[in-house]
Amino acid sequence: MTKPRILVTETLGPKALEYLRQHADVDAYDLLPPAELAPLMDQYDAVIIRSAHRLTRDLLQDHPRLRVVARAGAGVDNVDLDSATEFGIAVINAPGANAIAAAEHTFGLVLAVMRNIVRGDAHVRSGGWNRAAHLGQELYQKRLGIIGLGRVGRQVSRIAHGFRMEVSAYDPFLSADIFQAHEVRQVEQLEDLAAQSDILTIHTPKSGPHLDESLLRKLPHGAIVLNVARGGLIDEAALALLLNEGHIAGAGVDVFTTEPPKPDNPLLHVPHLVTTPHLGGSTHEAMVEVGMMTARGVLEALNNQTPSNLVNVPIPDLPEQNFKNLDRAVRVLGGIFSQLNEKVSAPLVLSLSRGLNPSVRPWLRQAALAAFLQNRVDERVNTVNALLIAERQGMVLLVDQEHRAVDEPRLSLRLEGRPDTEIETAIGPNGVILKKLAGIPVDLPWPDRALVTRHHDAPGVVGRVGTMVGQHEINIGQLHLGRRDPHREAFMILTLDTDPPEELLNELQQLPDIQEVYAFSHF
């Protein structure tokens, strides 16, 4: 099998490059001149950039080979996401690879502020030894307010629990169970979080809330403010004003609206502020993990898997193995349904069992459409562009949540009003289980390869099919039968050790009582 080709336009790190080269042919540059990128775009399956290049619509279009682009960093401001989605190009980044580094830096700043570490250092170096003038505060039992309980916010909460702080957070995009899982008290209104926080720290993208003077004044007198997220999230003039007034006792700032900050930035001229030059995610370990997370995501996308760091698909926040299991379950579901239902004359209905969190619905909708459309259209289709292609095809997919109680997460797909078309998969302890085939109950761990016949339930059919498969020297692992009623329509599922050749499928199709033959491989 031909290895994919990957272009790396800037330094990625030796560990990530070594990992990529185990699975792909890689051309890597310390810094490819941006003007030289356009002529190379046709030659690669994936392109990895950092900050020196912009992947615009002009660069992304008309490259049928290009399937993945990645930015080795947390943001994707220099990638045209809308165009990439339209062209079915997966966009990868490395969110949270520096989460531990950013969280630790947050506490580095807050300790520097509260224990007067920077001022104390300068005092000793100048010959002083006035301990009373540098009396500090403890973190113990202080009320920490976190704005944004994403990857960094969760790491901040973990460290805060170690200091035995009282931790609350505001994040309107997360369900209550996320807060509970991280032992963080959920606060519904940002103003309420500010009013009850001795220390307020923000960890959101640029689209997060803007902390203006009105909100900052809601903090208790003597509070501490921290920004190790994005410049511009805090009104710098307002923060400087409140520091000068003493309403805010101290601040730690790693990022600025303009970087580097201009000499007249008011924050550079106020007391009780500790600042660093955007060092939050800058550790050796974080740089290695950024490269590795990017490399893993690119290779997974090239192998038709769904990486958790895929940007232009609404990936749910699930443990990695849970996500991989659900991803395979929906691929099996959509792939089987597509082959068994050549003609679609009604809306599709995707049903989720009660145990599945509603947050998975947007992604599952796209993933089910992608699996269904995979072999039905000539253009590239994947989870990235499945919604766009479905709309062009006039397809409708409805999503509902079932209320029945089941032991394991389940998904089903059917034509609206046609229970006889329903395919159902479940996630068991050892992988994906097929629970229904065309409305007929089955219970079969889904294999890598399967041969399925739709046939008339009559004597001798099973034997003739098994004999013919054996004549082609293909070993049968398991055989499973299902039927609606005796002597009517039935299904037979054979798990195989090797892929069946087209010749075998044609021969089986000619057997008496066989209506349809389907082959499935490696969903």
How confident is the model over 498-517, as a mean pLDDT?
94
Determine which one of 105, 230, 296, 331 is catalytic: 230
The yes-or-no verdict on residue 1 having pLDDT over 70 is no
Point out the least confidently predicted range of 64-73, 250-259, 377-386: 377-386
Shared domain for 419 and 485, answered yes or no, is: no
Q: At what angle do helices 117-125 and 99-114 cross, to 10 degrees?
A: 60
Residue 513 main-chain phi, psi, to 5 deg: 75, -5
Shared domain for 389 and 509, answered yes or no, is: no
How confident is the model over 172-182, as a mean pLDDT?
88
Shared domain for 477 and 420, answered yes or no, is: no
Shared domain for 255 and 402, answered yes or no, is: no
Point out the least confidently predicted range of 73-82, 362-371, 436-445, 451-460: 73-82
Shared domain for 129 and 245, answered yes or no, is: yes
Looking only at the bridges linking them, the beta strands covering 143-147 and 166-170 are: parallel
- Taking only the tens place, the pLDDT of each residue in 317-367 is 788 888 889 999 999 999 999 999 988 888 999 999 887 887 889 999 999
- Taking only the tens place, the pLDDT of each residue in 94-140 is 988 889 999 999 999 999 999 999 999 999 999 999 999 999 999 99
- Taking only the tens place, the pLDDT of each residue in 469-478 is 999 999 999 9
CA 70 to chain centre: 13
Please indicate whether residue 259 is annotated as part of the active site.
Answer: yes
The yes-or-no verdict on residue 429 having pLDDT over 90 is no
The answer to the question of residue 395 being in a domain is yes
Shared domain for 86 and 228, answered yes or no, is: no
CA–CA distance, 115 with 108 (Å, rounded to integer): 10
Shared domain for 373 and 419, answered yes or no, is: yes
Determine which one of 18, 36, 259, 391 is catalytic: 259
Please indicate whether residue 36 is annotated as part of the active site.
Answer: no
Fill in the amino acid letter for 215: L
pLDDT of residue 247: 97
DSSP state at residue 39 = G
Shared domain for 429 and 494, answered yes or no, is: no
The answer to the question of residue 500 being in a domain is yes
The yes-or-no verdict on residue 249 having pLDDT over 90 is yes
H-type helices in 204-277, by residue range?
213-216, 236-245
Q: What is the CATH number of the domain that holds 365?
A: 3.30.1330.90
pLDDT of residue 483: 86
- Taking only the tens place, the pLDDT of each residue in 271-312 is 899 999 999 988 999 999 999 999 999 999 999 888 889 999
Average pLDDT in the chain = 93
Shared domain for 430 and 346, answered yes or no, is: yes
Nearest to 451 by CA among 343, 336, 325: 336
pTM to 2 decimal places: 0.74
Boundaries of domain holding 467: 447-518
Please indicate whether residue 278 is annotated as part of the active site.
Answer: yes
Shared domain for 307 and 243, answered yes or no, is: no
Shared domain for 130 and 256, answered yes or no, is: yes
Q: What is the CATH number of the domain that holds 305?
A: 3.40.50.720
The yes-or-no verdict on residue 75 having pLDDT over 80 is no
Looking only at the bridges linking them, the beta strands covering 514-521 and 449-456 are: antiparallel
CA–CA distance, 356 with 367 (Å, rounded to integer): 15
Instruction: Say if CB 305 and CB 29 are below 8 A apart.
Output: no
How confident is the model over 220-235, as a mean pLDDT?
96
Looking only at the bridges linking them, the beta strands covering 273-275 and 248-253 are: parallel
Shared domain for 166 and 193, answered yes or no, is: yes
Q: Beta partners for 454?
A: 491, 516
Q: How do the residues of the chain divide into helix, strand and coil, expressed in percent and rounded to 5?
A: 35, 25, 40
